[in-house]
Structure 1
Amino acid sequence: MPVSPADRQLAERLADAAGAAIRPLFRAAYAQELKADHSPVTEADRAAETAMRRLLDAEAPGDGVIGEEYGEKEGVTGRRWVLDPIDGTRSFTAGRAIFGTLIALVEDDWPVLGIIDQPIQRERWVGVAGRPTTFNGRPVRTRACAALEGALLATTSPHLFRGEEVEAYMRLAMAVSGSNLRQGPVYGGDCYNYGLVASGCLDLVCESGLALYDFAALAPIVEGAGGRMCDWQGDPLSAASSGQVLAIGDPARVDDVLEALSGTGAA
């Protein structure tokens, strides 16, 4: 079923509600604790997700909801709203305005609508399947990338890769850097990096260990701007994806990226 104007309007109002909950707590006093996986959660995370769930309960009560902080609510429509109230909580706690609220609409396990909202800088990317991605209401496009060497690669942290992923990521980082070791990756950024790919500021993001609420919103945004979102095998992202995620601004570089990760490219 195509995404309706009402769906998009609801998604934007969800972002508005989350932002209204987050802004008063940014660089202010708030409660926080560590979750079982040792990641931080704050009063702002919970307040933002509560605000969004309250709106969904009122306006889309039959839809399912998956949120990072409050789990899953089953629905009856085959549609699920996937919420990450603050993607980049460590950046939020450090006072860095490069975190974002992620909102996705998933139908039959496929993301069809996504929002990245940075509530402090009031920057918002909106992607809808089959339509151009917008940034603050204006269309944006990814940029061309003539070769993998020299491409601008970003990842939140190299410490998030595990086991063989470390070597795969380092192969990609070396392929991008080439002989210029100063042309290394950009670190930090969480979801904000994917918006920058869509806007043509970055060429590539490589990450692993992401949950559905971390990546569902990103695919419609990057792809609606002309890029490609896939896993490390090149398959499109769905609710069944493993959490190994690539965002590639220029689809012509997809094979190069996959070859670098796997070590099958030219020596």
Structure 2
Amino acid sequence: MARLDDDLALAHVLADTADSISMSRFKALDLYVESKPDLTPVSDADTAVEKALRMTLARTRSRDGVLGEEFGVSGANRNRQWVIDPIDGTKNYIRGVPIWGTLISLMEGDTPVVGLVSAPAIGRRWWAARGLGAFAGRHQSNAVPIKVSGVRRLADASFCYSSLDGWEQTGRLSSVLDLMRKTWRSRAYGDFYGYMLLAEGALDIMVEPELMLWDMAALVPIVTEAGGAFSDLSGRPGVGGGSAVATNGQLHTDVLERLTPSGLHAL
């Protein structure tokens, strides 16, 4: 565990660097934005953050691999690989919406063992390491343990999703709409934020149909160490399926069944 403590402390150092860079460019009049080949936006802040974090990791963890959204893979070590999303919520960032953050994870093989999400524009950070619990606060020095809710019925649950377009493309839109009708409340917070609210017990279900590894890796330790469940749409735990179903654990089986088009059933 001592090594994960060290790795988590380093993740906070990386987040401090990221926060300093991203906040200095947030709402900047000269922020430079271009479209990537997949037509998603990238700003000069995204690239500056990732470059800075890679430089720190090259000095402090030279034997570890790194995977970042903007610059791909470096290093050959797949047993220990840092995964970075320099700004999750870039569309929010470039429009001046404060819900965006830097996602930092350490993976051992295919398993995320350290996860940190820093959202400096709202003054909030969440983090966890395997076996060490999940926490939130402005920084490590004022950590508060977090845990998922104890909600057991869909009728009492708060349901969160990113958008409806992706669900339509996967042919599961009717399933999602049905699930929304069955729950107490539904909101589309999107990106990392819904998962963090889930880990804090403020909502109970968060789902997304299409994700990359850097979108998910930091979220898994936080959700699971807070007592929740995280799988893909097929129910396979972890980050390998390209989709995410995160719940407080109590609702996971029911949610998975309802997100399968043939699995709709009445309460």
| Deviations 1:109-142 (CA, angstroms, capped at 9, x unpaired) | 1110101110122211001111210002110111
1:243 corresponds to which letter in structure 2?
G
**What is the CA-CA distance between 1:6 and the residue it aligns to?**
1.4
Paired position in structure 2 for 1:180: none
**What is the CA-CA distance between 1:83 and the residue it aligns to?**
0.2
Indicate if the aligned counterparts of 2:113 and 2:129 stay in contact, CA closer than 8 A. Answer: yes
1:261 corresponds to which letter in structure 2?
L
Uncovered stretches (5+) of structure 2, i.e. residues with no partner: 138-142
1:166 corresponds to which letter in structure 2?
L
1:155 aligns with 2:153: no
Greater shift after overlay, 253-262 or 209-218?
Answer: 253-262
Alignment of 1:32-181 (within 5 A): 32-76=33-77, 78-136=79-137, 137-161=143-167, 162-176=169-183
Greater shift after overlay, 256-265 or 123-132?
Answer: 256-265
Runs of 4+ that moved beyond 4 A: none
Uncovered stretches (5+) of structure 1, i.e. residues with no partner: 178-182
Paired position in structure 1 for 2:257: 259
2:155 is paired with a residue whose SS is: coil
**What is the CA-CA distance between 1:74 and the residue it aligns to?**
2.4
**RMSD (Å), alpha carbons:** 1.6
1:223 is paired with a residue whose SS is: helix
| Deviations 1:71-126 (CA, angstroms, capped at 9, x unpaired) | 11123372000000111101111211111110010001111010111012221100
Paired position in structure 2 for 1:6: 6
Greater shift after overlay, 221-230 or 156-165?
Answer: 156-165
Q: Write the distance in 2 (CA, Å) between the matches of 1:4 and 1:124.
A: 18
Indicate if the aligned counterparts of 1:83 and 1:104 stay in contact, CA closer than 8 A. Answer: yes
Q: Write the distance in 1 (CA, Å) between the matches of 2:40 and 2:172.
A: 21
| Deviations 1:28-49 (CA, angstroms, capped at 9, x unpaired) | 1210011111111001111111
1:258 corresponds to which letter in structure 2?
L
Paired position in structure 1 for 2:207: 206
TM-score (norm 2): 0.92
TM-score (norm 1): 0.92
2:178 corresponds to which letter in structure 1?
R
Paired position in structure 1 for 2:140: none
Q: Write the distance in 2 (CA, Å) between the matches of 1:165 and 1:46.
A: 34
Indicate if the aligned counterparts of 1:172 and 1:261 stay in contact, CA closer than 8 A. Answer: yes
Q: Write the distance in 2 (CA, Å) between the matches of 1:3 and 1:248.
A: 29
CA 1:78–1:156 in structure 2 vs 1: closer, same or farther (change >3 Å)?
A: same
1:252 is paired with a residue whose SS is: coil
Q: Write the distance in 2 (CA, Å) between the matches of 1:156 and 1:247.
A: 12
Q: Write the distance in 2 (CA, Å) between the matches of 1:146 and 1:254.
A: 10
Q: Write the distance in 2 (CA, Å) between the matches of 1:222 and 1:19.
A: 22
**What is the CA-CA distance between 1:2 and the residue it aligns to?**
7.1
* Sequence identity (%): 36
**What is the CA-CA distance between 1:258 and the residue it aligns to?**
1.1
Indicate if the aligned counterparts of 1:98 and 1:189 stay in contact, CA closer than 8 A. Answer: no
Indicate if the aligned counterparts of 2:88 and 2:191 stay in contact, CA closer than 8 A. Answer: yes
Alignment of 1:241-252 (within 5 A): 241-249=240-248, 251-252=249-250
Residues matched between the structures, number: 258
Indicate if the aligned counterparts of 1:256 and 1:265 stay in contact, CA closer than 8 A. Answer: no
Paired position in structure 2 for 1:224: 225
1:116 corresponds to which letter in structure 2?
V
2:34 is paired with a residue whose SS is: strand
